[in-house]
Amino acid sequence: MAAVVVTSSKRFGYNIDSIAMSDTVRLEESVLAGYRPNIQNPESVTDLMNLLDAFVEVGWPEAFNMAWRLDEVYR
């Protein structure tokens, strides 16, 4: 659901908000830490990537770092 909300609100500048970016990174860290088995299907990984991509597009370093860590899903 978060991926849909962020993707839909990019046109309103949501992805340039530092608080939104911080919350997104924290959400993804939580998901990776606590729900890893539940997100190993292709649809969930795509949602994680789309969510981060909204913030990577505008150059947030924290989002870049989190995107590089997504390989943890498959370890």
Q: pLDDT digits over 12-70, tens only?
A: 998 999 999 999 889 888 888 887 777 778 888 888 888 889 999 999 999 888 888 77
- The answer to whether residue 53 is domain-embedded is yes
This prediction has a pTM of 0.77
Instruction: With respect to residue 25, please indicate whether it lies within any of the assigned structural domains.
Output: yes
Instruction: Give the count of domains, the chain.
Output: 1
Range of the domain at 21: 2-6+17-74
Q: What are the counts of helices (DSSP H) followed by strands (DSSP E) for the chain?
A: 4, 0
38 in a structural domain: yes
In this structure, is residue 61 part of a structural domain?
yes
Residue with the bigger pLDDT between 31 and 74: it is 31
**Is 23 part of a structural domain of the chain?**
yes
Domain membership of residue 11 (yes or no) is: no
Domain assignment present for 12? no
